[in-house]
Structure 1
């Protein structure tokens, strides 16, 4: 089986590994996916959900480029919600609860349909190098496999340690062994490594819960979906989640175990995710709060297993048991699995280029939690980009890099390699300075042409994008060119408590008023007739409304992005010696020498590099 040299070897079959293998194979590369367990491909190790604030935008971007995470989610979803609908469209974020077992199964069956992928269940224990290039891998069974490129997507498995109270044992996640050897091989050739930690809540038997004491959390009345493809359909039925609360009594019981909690008592020295704290941390940091929300999330259509979101913990099992029984609805709870903490190796991502190729070893790529990120969505995005760039590398084509004004994926990767991370990195809308441009509704317009050019996005996707853009432009032009008389529109304006007009006015100007939505405009016979005549669907109506109402903001952000992109064109030679530029601050010299930014724009985003340092560099670059 392993007599030939692969184009790409992907180590790890999680969300990053699955997207990486699919991308490289679909771009024509002979790909091998090596994973410790073929039964757990794309396993949802933590909560059974995809998307959420900013994360939903990433899944839409993966889909627009031709990845699979959105398609898998749509086919295995049990509930869908569009979050933040009360805010502006830049904040709208899709989220879906998934059937955890079916999610993994669907991913595996999807990968098996891709001809260029081979699968092998084994544990990679060593890496093969040819000077400063990667040459292949060696497994625990002693099998040597050669490859032109390697993508490491090892998740939380690298020297993973699981903690429950005072008990500690090796593992990549509950029930699975840790991966030993890869870290050691990388450190041996000069890579810097670190440790991070994360926690997970208990899983309980839904049959033992009393849902009548909880608050029901149903899905949207008219659910949408993630993928832009017509082949996936919105849910016709959904499963509800539920919400309950902790209490003073629960907090007091939890405190009795704090000294035995390794995430809290300092026994685990590594850094955890600040934005997803354990229940111990929440009680300590927000001591004045008398209660905290717990979200009770079913793990599938048919299973009784339930995920207790908000109760992430490494407390001893007896404390978890006593405390959770004091939560409303959990009085008779039965545990499937106790919550636990896990610590694992990661590699500071400043050791990578924007393609996710390592600077130290050519043709070697890192993607996912090995880069210090947390979350399925962040991992999948990195996997997709690593798979694309490994394939382009093999084909001797220019690399594929997304800018910060093009995609949340671009923000994610630029943040990682430019700023690094000292805690598990999670995407938020606030991290994107151009979030009005990077909305979930227009990811296809932004990225599908790029995915199509790469050979990942299908002709069907491209045709749908062209039609969407053409019809949106047509609708905008109609509103711009068409006038409305006072007698026609004033009754609607009066009903919406906005100023009436005294003379004819263009519909575009009327539509831009915040008091009106396009459902109000559709009460006008001429507008509804135009929509029906041109077969304009609700997606086009929404796209047009956003364009009209936020035209000023969108134009402003595009202008700012254009200014930034001018600095992207000022390339810094890879051999540039910062130590000779005495006008630079000492910190700037150190940071620039370590990170080796490719452009002035990237240099400006490095922590510790001041505007005056950038001015000095611009002088040296002849600008």
Structure 2
């Protein structure tokens, strides 16, 4: 019935979609298997893409030829660049999205790929022969052969949904759980664990009183995720902010004795940085209120996502508590919030390519690795899809370094340190975040994708043009001066000290109060010159000028670390023979099998003295 495929991807969430698309775009024949073709790329939680650190990840995926940024742009209902009051390392794009259109655009994108097929079914088993994955068996008993398999099962592996004292099997509300696969993988030697996540109730927007809430509009200067020319939104939808209060908290507490979280019925660990509303009240008892973001689910639907009110309390308690929130007095629920427990596989069982260490040609991506978030999942799927293709073709694998991408930080953290709670990306996790900005993801990563064959000459030429033009702007700033009469009115306006003589434009741009458009406003010649360049090129030039000295210092650190990062370790290295290493270091090194000294140095339990021993032995 089925031909043999190069790559089979199991699961069509954010990880699965990117994995399937990446492998197909590299030339592999791909079969994407999903339990329900009607919910491909479902936004199971909030209808939004990006945010702090996550927005940087989406731009990195786009810079390398992935689709999440393009799909987000096509389904945007509101765009905001977060943290603009801080330095550029913290600027993070975020969109509110039309949930239904997001899923539709992903499906259309996948169906446009000629070497990608889809099949609706549940995978019960991975076919393993001689220690290598070579296909899958579905719930219909169909055996499908492949050269490599990528598992992106999300929250579906033995998923259990909790609402108050009720619990039932499911991978998402209205969808059944996937069984059998965990048990098979454990029998092959994999270690598994349990995690949990949650979602808030969905509300009929017609029942809300928005006059009692704070409006939150998107940016007037609208942006996009993709470096391609995706259309900018011509209009945007408003979001709102409201707050809980003591009455809300007291009502929620009446349900604590029936809460699956507090009664111990939920065993899995939940996300530290996205706690449920009952967890917030319990952990932060001193707070009088908690922020609630009221987010529309799309352009035309009435459905509202109540961000900040994730809960698994009984549905009657949810309803009563919601109606005590300002603006929610007459709120009608479409469906209650719930918690979901699911199986995951600790990611220290993976190589940096996301191939498993136990079974060759088998890759894991997304929540199966203990992460949370669409963006983290999409990034892993993208890398897993690339490396599955590369592996079966004996081509060079793709491993992004921590110093060149947030994706590299994400995967290195997972594989080297593991996680015992749902992992979420933050800018603070990246030690070189000043170099890993959202504005330069194309400069950092598009040349890498071009070498792989994911990006064509046209996009690479566009990146090179951006670099060249931003350098031209910087040269103009360095070579040209402006006068007192032109600039002092502007300097006075922004509260910067006045000049007493002709001054180089570059020196003025170095001032924190001055931006490049201030210079263009004061100096008409520079303004006319700047008009020939696009916004991203201008922004790139300004950031380079303002933070040049910081970038140089950061690059010095990266170059010093590079020697350790490039020092490779034999994968068959016998750590047990090095009695000078601590017992914990021997055990951890043998488990992780680090590829380099740099990776070895980041393993929990491996001390600097252990690294010194390794370096001496390797010398």
Q: TM-score, with normalisation over the residues of structure 1? A: 0.97
Aligned to 1:296: 294
Helix, strand or coil at the partner of 1:262: coil
Distance 1:175 1:145 in 2: 27
Aligned counterpart, 1:5: 4
Give the drift of 1:306.
0.7
Give, in whole Å, the separation in 1 of the partners of 2:594 and 2:448. 24
1:243/1:295 contact within 8 Å kept: yes
Where 1:527 maps in the other structure, the secondary structure is helix
Deviation at 1:498, TM superposition (A): 3.1
- After superposition, give the CA deviation of every residue in 1:240-279 in whole Å (9 maximum; x if it has no partner): 1111111100100100111111123322111000000000
- 2:463 paired residue number: 465
Write out aligned runs for 1:112-131 (5 A): 112-131=111-130
Equivalent residue for 1:315? 313
User: How far does residue 78 in structure 1 lie from its aligned partner after superposition?
Assistant: 0.7
- Alpha-carbon distance, 1:610 to partner: 1.3
User: Which residue does 1:186 correspond to in 2?
Assistant: 185
Whole-angstrom CA distance in 2 between matches of 1:92 and 1:379: 21
In the alignment, does 2:597 pair up with 1:600? yes
**Alpha-carbon deviation of 1:492?**
3.6
Q: Which residue of 2 aligns with 1:561?
A: 558
Q: In the alignment, is the contact (CA less than 8 A) between 1:264 and 1:281 conserved in 2? A: no
Map of 1:208-247 to 2, 5 A cutoff?
Answer: 208-230=207-229, 232-247=230-245
- In the TM superposition, residue 102 of structure 1 has moved relative to its aligned partner by 1.0
**Counterpart-to-counterpart distance in 2, 1:495 and 1:320:** 51
Secondary structure of 2:584 counterpart: helix
Alignment partner of 2:546 out of 536, 546, 549: 549
Contact 2:251–2:321 at 8 Å: present in 1 too?
A: yes
Other structure's SS at 1:263 match: coil
Secondary structure, counterpart of 1:244 in structure 2: strand
2: CA distance, partners of 1:260 / 1:108: 40
1:549 CA displacement? 0.5
1:38-73: CA deviations, max 9, x gaps? 110000000000001110111111110000001111
Deviations 1:308-330 (A, max 9, x none): 11000000111101111111111
Tell me how large the CA RMSD over aligned residues is: 1.2
Q: Distance in 1 between matches of 2:309 and 2:492?
A: 50
Aligned to 2:586: 589
Shift of 1:501: 4.2
Equivalents in 1 of 2:330, 2:495: separation in Å? 53
Is the 8 Å Cα contact of residues 216 and 240 (structure 2) preserved in structure 1?
A: yes
**Partners of 1:341 and 1:128 in 2: CA distance:** 32
**1:322-372 deviation line (CA, Å, top 9, x unaligned):** 111111111111111100000000000000011000011100000000000
Q: Secondary structure at the match of 1:265?
A: coil
Residue 367 of structure 1: aligned partner: 365
**After superposition, where does 1:526-537 map in structure 2 within 5 Å?**
526-532=525-531, 535-537=532-534
Q: Secondary structure at the match of 2:261?
A: helix
Q: Distance in 1 between matches of 2:567 and 2:446?
A: 27
CA contact (8 A) 2:134 2:148 kept: yes
Q: Whole-Å Cα distance in 1 between the matches of residues 113 and 106 of structure 2?
A: 11
For 2:472, the equivalent position in structure 1 comes to: 474
- Between the aligned partners of 1:536 and 1:320, the Cα distance in structure 2 is 52
Three-state SS of the structure 2 residue aligned to 1:264 is: coil
List aligned pairs for 1:280-429, cutoff 5 A: 280-429=278-427
Aligned partners of 1:459 and 1:18: how far apart in 2? 24
1:506 offset after TM fit, Å? 3.1
Give, in angstroms, the shift of residue 490 of structure 1: 4.2
2:509 is matched with 511
Indicate which of 255, 258, 268 corresponds to 1:257.
255
Structure 2 portions without partners, runs of 5+: none
Q: Which is worse superposed, 247-256 or 461-470? A: 461-470
Q: How many residues are matched?
A: 618
Specify the alignment match of 1:143 in structure 2.
Answer: 142
Q: Distance in 1 between matches of 2:449 and 2:261?
A: 42
**SS in structure 1 at match of 2:154:** coil
CA shift at 1:500, angstroms? 3.9
For 2:610, the equivalent position in structure 1 comes to 613
Distance between the aligned counterparts of 1:404 and 1:373, measured in 2? Answer: 18
* Cα distance in 1 between the residues matched to 2:204 and 2:253: 25
Q: Which moved more, 1:255-264 or 1:414-423?
A: 255-264
1:171 correspondence with 2:134: no
- Alignment partner, residue 82 of structure 1: 81
| In 2, Cα distance between equivalents of 1:202 and 1:322 | 12
Distance 1:94 1:393 in 2: 33
Find 2:246's aligned residue among 234, 245, 248. 248
Instruction: Determine if the alignment matches structure 1 residue 39 to structure 2 residue 38.
Output: yes
Aligned CA distance change for structure 1 residues 268 and 538 (closer, same or farther; 3 Å) = same
Contact 1:588 1:610 in 2 (8 A): yes
Task: Check the 8 A contact 2:127/2:136 in 1, yes or no.
Answer: yes
Q: Distance in 1 between matches of 2:58 and 2:540?
A: 19
- 2: CA distance, partners of 1:307 / 1:422: 28
Aligned residues of 2:79 and 2:94 also touching (Cα < 8 A): yes
Tell me if the contact between 2:482 and 2:523 (Cα under 8 Å) persists in the aligned partners: no
Q: How far 1:505 moved relative to its partner?
A: 4.0
3-state secondary structure, aligned to 1:597: coil
**1:264 and 1:280 in contact (8 A); partners too:** no
Unaligned runs of 5+ in 1: none
